[in-house]
């Protein structure tokens, strides 16, 4: 089987983790912008964006991994001062195809500055027609979720092109009722493969994507293969496993090989 990890920060991991992912069937991944510190100026974000779209993409491709880069300003690392150059760079990157999605953006505390930065970035995503990866905080997801719904509605974003990520199983029905994709993060302190088995068993595959949120924090490069194994062992058919570990993310983020190529038959003898 092959997998797509729908939310990673591979640039905070070592070479060997990437090799293990490729060897275990990870076909592609979404690399999301994030800084584990608050930048002193927006120029730091611009350098991060260049790092991800150039050096990090090349590093991942040496392992045969397909890459889709998500660029954006995470709510935990909003710089002071001006922000217009970040918005301009996002627009340029989406237009040129250097980045395929807006992310990781969202709300942490949900204060006015975070909301403003999110709103401005969503406008660029909408204009450039790219999907969005939305962060929800470890604590207080119930509080920020209605805020996220309101801002998505206010900006008329197509919810089916938005992943609301790091959900608890209890929040999945609300997010699906809103029409957004439900992101299940399998990582120590978040969900386990058993949680994914329970959610998929209860709700089916529609609108579900799985990710590792691979970062400098404890994370599992093998989250996707582990979920596939758990789903198979729980008796889910291959089509179900394929939908949540590959197909849904492949369609959303435009991984080229999402559309199966016709299998050519043997050449007829002349």
Question: Using CB under 5 A as the criterion, which residues of the chain lie in contact with Zn ion when the complex forms?
Answer: 104, 213
Query: Which pair of structure tokens corresponds to residue 87?
Result: 């918005």
User: How many Å apart are CA 249 and CA 2, to the nearest integer?
Assistant: 12
Residue among 134 and 244 whose Cβ is closer to Zn ion: 134
The residue with its CB nearest to Zn ion is 213
Report in angstroms how near the CB of residue 32 gets to Zn ion at its nearest.
5
Residue among 68 and 240 whose Cβ is closer to Zn ion: 68
- Which DSSP state fits 75? G
- Partnered with residue 105 across adjacent β-strands are 134
Report in angstroms how near the CB of residue 135 gets to Zn ion at its nearest.
6
Residue among 36 and 64 whose Cβ is closer to Zn ion: 36
Query: Which pair of structure tokens corresponds to residue 248?
Result: 């849904």
Report in angstroms how near the CB of residue 133 gets to Zn ion at its nearest.
8
Residue among 190 and 240 whose Cβ is closer to Zn ion: 190
* Euclidean distance between the first and the last CA atom of the chain, given in angstroms as a whole number: 36
Report in angstroms how near the CB of residue 240 gets to Zn ion at its nearest.
26
> Which residues, in sequence order, are CB contacts of 134 under 8 Å at separation 6+?
103, 104, 105, 106, 148, 162, 163, 164, 165, 180
User: In 99-215, which ranges are E strands?
Assistant: 101-106, 132-135, 162-164, 181-185, 208-211
Report in angstroms how near the CB of residue 73 gets to Zn ion at its nearest.
13
User: How many Å apart are CA 250 and CA 239, to the nearest integer?
Assistant: 14
Residue among 221 and 241 whose Cβ is closer to Zn ion: 221
């Amino acid at each position: 089987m092959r997998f797509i990890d729908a939310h990673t920060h591979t640039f905070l991991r070592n070479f060997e983790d990437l090799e293990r992912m490729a060897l275990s069937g990870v076909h592609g991944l979404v690399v999301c912008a994030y800084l584990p510190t608050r930048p002193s100026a927006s120029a730091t974000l611009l350098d991060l964006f260049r790092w991800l779209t150039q050096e990090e993409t090349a590093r991942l491709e040496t392992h045969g991994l397909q890459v889709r880069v998500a660029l954006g300003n995470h709510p935990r690392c909003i710089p002071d001062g001006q922000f217009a150059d970040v918005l301009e760079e996002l627009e340029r990157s989406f237009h040129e195809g250097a980045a395929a999605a807006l992310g990781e953006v969202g709300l942490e505390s949900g204060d006015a500055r975070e909301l403003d930065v999110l709103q401005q970035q969503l406008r660029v995503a909408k204009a450039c027609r790219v999907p969005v990866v939305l962060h929800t905080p470890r604590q207080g997801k119930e509080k920020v979720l209605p805020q996220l719904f309101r801002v998505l509605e206010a900006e008329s974003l197509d919810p089916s092109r938005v992943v609301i990520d790091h959900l608890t199983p209890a929040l999945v029905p609300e997010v699906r009722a809103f029409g957004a994709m439900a992101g299940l993060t399998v990582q120590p302190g978040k969900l386990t493969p058993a949680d994914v088995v329970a959610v998929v068993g209860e709700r089916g595959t529609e609108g579900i994507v799985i990710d590792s949120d691979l970062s400098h924090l404890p994370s599992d490069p093998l989250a996707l293969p582990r979920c596939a194994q758990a789903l198979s062992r729980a008796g889910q058919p291959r089509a179900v496993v394929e939908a949540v570990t590959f197909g849904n993310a492949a369609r959303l983020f435009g991984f080229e090989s999402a559309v199966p190529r016709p299998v050519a038959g043997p050449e007829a003898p002349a």
